[in-house]
Amino acid sequence: MNKRHYTSRNQIVIPACEYQGRYRLKGNHPMIRGYLEYIERMMHETTARYGRVTMIRVDLRFPSWWDLEVYPYPSCISEFNSKLNGLVIRRNSERAHPAFPRYLWCREFGDVNGRPHYHVAIMVSGHAYSPQRFYDATSLRNIAGLISRAWLDTLGLWDVEGNGLAFFPEKSACSFSNGDPNSLIGAFRQLSYLAKVRTKRYGDGFRNFGYSLK
């Protein structure tokens, strides 16, 4: 049975099971239904534009020496999106298939240290970026390098200071399309992790989930 979140009454929590009978959710976590709906909408809109989509998952972390009680860190996620857009737009001039990024992100807090971090999913044209060749965080000729550079620029750090702050989990890149139902199921399952209730914090005036549909 669905119920409202105990501290955020406008959020509906669903149990850790199938979402609307179509997709299996990732892990044994209760999820926020509205977040899952945005994820599904994002996937639909992006496949409608590009046909085949490459999706990359990345965790964006802050330096351990930053005092996040005083640093206005919530502004970093929108600045990161803006900087990555600029880098990708410059790369588009070299490509036959432009790849304007779309984003899903959630804010979470570490179980042990309690520090905030962001889980981000970035979707681009699968014709412009291949999930098999996405990863070289030191090169600006692939999407992983652009992501890493955008996060370092957002934080104002040198490479040596920010090594590993943009972290790519294992199997963090995949592709999906409307013509391949299994790929949609797999991608949605990965993305559903962003909708889990656990480790999010409500009531502090900042957003826990965001997206772009432009």
Q: What is the pLDDT of residues 182-193, one digit of tens each?
A: 999 899 989 989
What's this model's pTM, rounded to 2 decimal places? 0.87
Sign of CA dihedral 211, 10, 31, 68: positive
* 135 is a domain residue: yes
pLDDT of residue 92: 63
* 19 is a domain residue: yes
Contact 165, 151 (CB under 8 A): yes
Q: What is the pLDDT of residues 143-181, one digit of tens each?
A: 888 899 999 999 999 888 888 899 998 888 899 999 999
Structural domain containing residue 112? 3-61+74-211
* 143 is a domain residue: yes
How many structural domains does the chain have? 1
CA-to-CA separations, 146 to 5, 118, 138, 152, in angstroms, rounded: 36, 17, 9, 10
* 68 is a domain residue: no
* 35 is a domain residue: yes
Q: How far apart are CA 27 and CA 17, in angstroms?
A: 9
